[in-house]
Amino acid sequence: MTWVSWRIARRALAVVMLIVLGYLTVTFVQVWRAARRDDAHPAEAIVVLGAAQFNGTPSAVFGARLDHAADLYEADIAPIVVVTGGKQEGDRFTEATAGANYLLTKGVPDAAILRETQGQSSWESLAASAQILNDRGVQDVVLVSDPFHSLRVEEIAEELGLDAATSPTRTSPIDGADEWKNFGTETLRVAAGRLVGFDRLARTSDVGKLVPGVGILG
């Protein structure tokens, strides 16, 4: 490669890096802004994204999401609450079952709770929830999760044909450095999902190997 060709290649690489950096910066700002937005409005269903549970007891993170969903139900935001999440190997309970039992203690009637018990990721849980809701003619939903999760779950839901808005919990125990780490991870996942589609991203484990945190884990 000649010196002139090398200079051209370096400039081209610099331009590409600036474009990528700009794209990620814009995406990060959008993730951050979505985290601070609450778009709760009268809808047809509330969908709670699952999180860890321990022998049927929701983790503090999951509990914060469920508490917020119960508050939204009490405020007549929607007549149905969908709790999501399967179980890990060795678990006795699914996240959805643990979540439903918790909501019962918060005064949400069993008849108002739908359970999605198979999902192992946000995309899987929302895809299954979309099918459950579509069978009932329901499309207008309010999604409940942690703030940093808001933009990605909203865009996944819209990709699945739901009319989605987000209302993140404000009592999540995830804060400080852990919260900022999650903002970074969500930025990568949203950026990748917009490029290849959240469906393809969720189904392609190789993506997670190439870019840690972007694959099928969330």
**In a shared domain, residues 23 and 101:** no
> What is the pLDDT at residue 12?
85
**In a shared domain, residues 103 and 191:** no
CA distance 93 to 87: 6
**In a shared domain, residues 56 and 161:** yes
Residue 82: inside a domain: yes
**In a shared domain, residues 162 and 67:** yes
CATH (domain of 52): 3.40.50.620
**In a shared domain, residues 57 and 102:** yes
> What is the pLDDT at residue 4?
63
Q: Please, how many CA atoms are within 13 Å of residue 77, restricted to the half-sphere of its CB?
A: 25
Q: Please, how many CA atoms are within 13 Å of residue 171, restricted to the half-sphere of its CB?
A: 11
Contact 150, 168 (CB under 8 A): yes
- Look-up: residue for tokens 């939903």? 141
Cα dihedral value 172, 129, 73, 144, nearest 10? 20
Domain span at residue 204 reads 3-35+178-210
**In a shared domain, residues 66 and 113:** yes
Residue 217: inside a domain: no
Residue 62: inside a domain: yes
Residue 216: inside a domain: no
Output phi, psi for 19, to 5 deg. Answer: -65, -45
**In a shared domain, residues 130 and 52:** yes
Residue 218: inside a domain: no
pTM recorded for the entire structure: 0.89
Tally of domains within the chain: 2
> What is the pLDDT at residue 213?
40
**In a shared domain, residues 119 and 143:** yes
> What is the pLDDT at residue 83?
98
Residue 83: inside a domain: yes
Residue 121: inside a domain: yes
**In a shared domain, residues 65 and 26:** no
Residue 215: inside a domain: no
CB within 8 A of 171, min separation 6: which ones? 64, 67, 68
> What is the pLDDT at residue 13?
87
Token output for 166: 């987000």
Beta strands in the chain (DSSP E): 45-48, 53-54, 57-58, 81-84, 113-116, 140-144, 163-166
DSSP helix/strand/coil, 142: strand
pLDDT along the chain (218 residues), means of 10: 73 89 97 98 98 96 98 98 92 95 98 96 96 96 98 97 98 96 96 94 59 39
**In a shared domain, residues 59 and 99:** yes
**In a shared domain, residues 77 and 141:** yes
CA 75 to chain centre: 23
**In a shared domain, residues 152 and 184:** no
DSSP helix/strand/coil, 140: strand
Residue at 118: amino acid letter: Q
